[in-house]
Amino acid sequence: MRPHLNDQDNNLLIWLSFKKKLEQIQLEDKIGQGTTAEIHRGTWRGFDVAVKCISPEFFRTNANGVEFFAQEVETLSKQRHRFVLNLMGACLDPPNHAWVVTEYLSTTLKEWLYGPGKRY
């Protein structure tokens, strides 16, 4: 069973002071990578989390990068569905740091849809 945050915790998770909150997150193995970010497994306050670390290059090459990031965080903060990962928090200190922190799921979407070890 996954730990569950109460409403009071959810109100505290959008972080403006990046450096202070950075100390609370322990980054672990890199579990994925896209064109704009690396995804790491991590731990925050005893919870397993996934941390999307946006590349500094994204902000240098995209004039609307900060607005795009803020829109992503706002959209995720409004999502409440059992099939969507819960937003745990976000840190923004562009261009050097921009993280989106969500709950960690120990399986891939492919495994969840088709079962472990199946090739589709």
| pLDDT tens digits along 30-70 | 999 999 999 999 998 888 999 999 999 998 898 998 888 88
Residue 3 resides in a domain: no
Residue 120 resides in a domain: no
CATH number where 71 lies: 3.30.200.20
pTM given for the model: 0.75
Q: Is a pLDDT exceeding 90 seen at residue 15?
A: no
Residue 1 resides in a domain: no
HSE at residue 29, side-chain half, CA atoms within 13 A, is: 5
pLDDT value of position 43? 92
The parent domain of residue 46 ranges over 15-114
Considering 28-32, 76-80, 114-118, the range whose residues carry the highest mean pLDDT is: 28-32
Residue 29 resides in a domain: yes
Quote the tokens at residue 33.
């990578």
Edge-to-edge strand list for the sheet holding 97-103: 14-15, 87-93, 97-103, 47-54, 37-44, 25-33
What single-letter amino acid sits at 6?
N
Give the model's confidence band at 107: pLDDT under 50 very low, under 70 low, under 90 confident, else very high.
confident
Number of domains making up the chain: 1
- Could you give the CA distance from residue 81 to residue 6 in angstroms, rounded to a whole number? 16
Residue 4 resides in a domain: no
Residue 73 resides in a domain: yes
Residue 53 resides in a domain: yes
Q: Are strands 47-54 and 37-44 parallel, antiparallel or unpaired?
A: antiparallel
Average pLDDT, the chain: 78
Q: Is a pLDDT exceeding 70 seen at residue 118?
A: no
pLDDT value of position 20? 53
Q: What is the 3-state secondary structure (H, E, C) of 97-114?
A: EEEEEEECCCCCHHHHHH
Question: What mean pLDDT do residues 8-12 have?
Answer: 39
Q: Is a pLDDT exceeding 70 seen at residue 17?
A: no
Residue 78 resides in a domain: yes
